[in-house]
């Protein structure tokens, strides 16, 4: 499991390097589906690590909804403040939206959901479980967060990397607190679909 997860993580930034050059979903979408398939297959041979205080699915959904809403509101606020302090930020973020929305909205959302599930199963699921079981929770959290952030370097964008670091830390904290992937999966979906596709920050927050 650890070797398979490491190989998938190493390949992620290379597949993501199509961002801004080609249709990123044409490459990342199928790769995300492959990751999901492999993670589900491998889980048959290694049981997920669940703590004694593992939350129920219902509580995980509630936590995910609350955290997702707070993250989304915080992103709009951070963008508003950031563009006032550094006006060129608006143009750079707008460019990222152009690179990310290369298909119809429906296709983009569908592939994005695939990628969200793939990321959660890989970084906040398999890797966190295996590393924690063998080397302890602290190292597992650190490696999961660092590799997740580095994997987004394939976009070539510092903004994407910073977002991955901050958001990844929150989703990892949810995973550790609830001992389940439900909460981070819900909040990850809310934040990504809202901020990236449905209500882009460059449309909601008009820089002045």
Under a CB-based contact definition with an 8 Å cutoff, are residues 100 and 24 in contact? Answer: yes
pLDDT at residue 53 in the model: 52
pLDDT at residue 52 in the model: 46
Whether this model's pTM surpasses 0.75: yes
What are the distances in angstroms from CA 154 to CA 36, 51, 111, 135? Answer: 20, 34, 18, 28
pLDDT at residue 101 in the model: 63
Q: What is the mean pLDDT of residues 111-116?
A: 95
Residue 49 or 29, more confident: 29
List, for residues 53-82, the tens digit of each pLDDT value: 556 889 999 999 999 999 999 999 999 999
List, for residues 17-33, the tens digit of each pLDDT value: 777 666 778 888 999 99
Q: What are the start-end ranges of the H helices in 86-157?
A: 88-100, 105-121, 128-135, 137-151
Under a CB-based contact definition with an 8 Å cutoff, are residues 48 and 129 in contact? Answer: yes
Measure the CA–CA gap between 141 and 144, rounded to whole angstroms: 5
Q: Which helix (H) or strand (E) holds 206?
A: none
Mean pLDDT of the chain: 88
């Amino acid at each position: 499991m650890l070797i398979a997860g490491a190989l998938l993580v190493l390949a992620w930034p290379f597949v993501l390097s199509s961002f801004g050059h080609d249709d990123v979903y044409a490459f990342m979408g199928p790769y995300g589906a492959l990751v999901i398939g492999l993670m589900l297959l491998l889980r048959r041979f290694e049981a997920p690590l669940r703590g004694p205080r593992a939350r129920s699915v219902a509580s995980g959904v509630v936590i995910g909804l609350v955290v997702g809403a707070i993250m989304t509101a915080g992103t709009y606020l951070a963008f508003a403040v950031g563009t006032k302090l550094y006006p060129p930020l608006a143009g750079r973020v707008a460019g990222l939206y152009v690179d990310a929305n290369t298909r119809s909205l429906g296709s983009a959302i569908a592939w994005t959901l695939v990628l969200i599930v793939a990321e959660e199963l890989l970084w906040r699921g398999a890797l966190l479980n295996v590393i924690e079981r063998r080397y302890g929770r602290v190292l597992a959290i650190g490696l999961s967060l660092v590799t997740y952030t580095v994997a987004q370097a394939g976009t070539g964008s510092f903004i994407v990397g910073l977002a991955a670091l901050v958001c990844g830390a929150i989703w990892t904290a949810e995973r550790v607190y609830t001992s389940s992937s439900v909460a981070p999966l819900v909040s990850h979906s809310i934040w990504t679909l809202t901020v990236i596709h449905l209500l882009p920050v460059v449309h909601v927050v008009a820089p002045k």
